[in-house]
Amino acid sequence: MEQRTYNQYCATARTLDLIGERWTLLLIRELLTGPKRFGDLQASLRGLGTGLLAARLKHLEREGLARKITLPPPARTPAYALTEAGEELGPAVLALARWGLKWAMGERLASETFHPGWAVLGLRACFDAETAAGLHAVYEFRIDDEPFHARISDGTIEAVHGPAQNPDAVITITADAFVRLTGQGLTFADAVESGAASASGDGEALRRLTGLFRLPPPRTR
């Protein structure tokens, strides 16, 4: 398949030549949270057919944005990971996420899917570094039993898939409540009161949690 181009000697146009095709930027979004197997990417990107997924991954490999790797034991299976150039798209993807939270979310449509793993990147997008100054804590989140965790270290965050070894606090919430929390005005306190969420662990870590992640006030375009 011939790659389309804007034929413009412009950094923005050249970048869009590389990542502007449908599904390409979402593949980068998935790989920003760590290496993924082909099947993992299929599961997260419903609607993306096998053939097109393979074509998009080959494009990312050809352009030096992703590479094939073998996962370490015990998995030892083929997977895809971002290159240095691919990883440097992270700030742009997070900026798009923050813009979307402010200008594009609203209520979830019946036809729209939601994958709990997407919240890993959402934590990074909403992280308030100033509020996290001086804090050293590990938070484990469970959305419909899918675990991921965030390690906060004096204004920095590392958010990854999987459970934490020794979390200071554990937060559980249903996927439906999380969706309403991020786009439809539900507060975490309301979710706890209704039984859709719970929090346990170190009191200081829980107290600091409320200011660590700030959603931008939604606006109407």
Q: Give residue-wise pLDDT tens across range 142-171.
A: 999 899 999 999 999 999 999 999 999 999
Band of pLDDT at residue 108, cut at 50, 70 and 90: confident
- In the structure, what pLDDT confidence band is assigned to residue 7 with cuts at 50, 70 and 90? very high
User: What pTM was computed for the model?
Assistant: 0.90
Q: Are residues 83 and 121 in the same domain?
A: no
Tell me: do 83 and 120 sit in the same domain. Answer: no
Same-domain check for residues 128 and 83: no
**Residue 31, domain CATH:** 1.10.10.10
pLDDT at 2: 62
pLDDT of residue 49: 95
Q: How far apart are CA 188 and CA 112, in angstroms?
A: 23
Measured distance CA(47)–CA(209) in Å, rounded: 35
* Cα 57 to Cα 131: distance, rounded to the nearest angstrom: 38
pLDDT of residue 184: 66
Q: Picking from 48-52, 53-57, 206-210, which range would have the lowest pLDDT averaged per residue?
A: 206-210
Q: Give the model's confidence band at 75: pLDDT under 50 very low, under 70 low, under 90 confident, else very high.
A: confident
Tell whether 120 and 198 lie within a shared domain.
yes
Instruction: Assess whether 65 and 136 both reside in one domain.
Output: no
Distance CA 46, CA 160 (A): 22
Q: Scan for tokens 């170190």, then name that residue.
A: 202
The percentage of residues in the chain with a pLDDT greater than 70, rounded to a whole number, is 98
Total domains in the fold of the chain: 2
Q: What single letter denotes the amino acid at residue 201?
A: G
Mean pLDDT of 40-69: 96
Amino acid at residue number 135 = L
Query: pLDDT value at position 189?
Result: 86
**Domain region containing 185:** 116-212
Looking at per-residue confidence, does 204 or 2 come out higher?
A: 204
Q: Looking at the structure, do residues 138 and 80 belong to the same domain, yes or no?
A: no
* pLDDT above 80: residue 99: yes
Per-residue model confidence (pLDDT) at position 1:
54
Same domain flag for 67 and 121? no
Q: Would you say residue 20 lies in a domain?
A: yes
Higher-pLDDT residue of 210, 157: 157
Examine the domain organization and report whether 81 and 169 are in the same domain: no
In terms of pLDDT, which residue wins out, 54 or 4?
54
Q: End of a domain among 68, 88, 108? A: 88
Provide the CB-side half-sphere exposure for 66 (13 A, CA): 27
Cis peptide before 74 (omega within 30 of 0): yes
Tell me whether residue 5 is in a domain: no
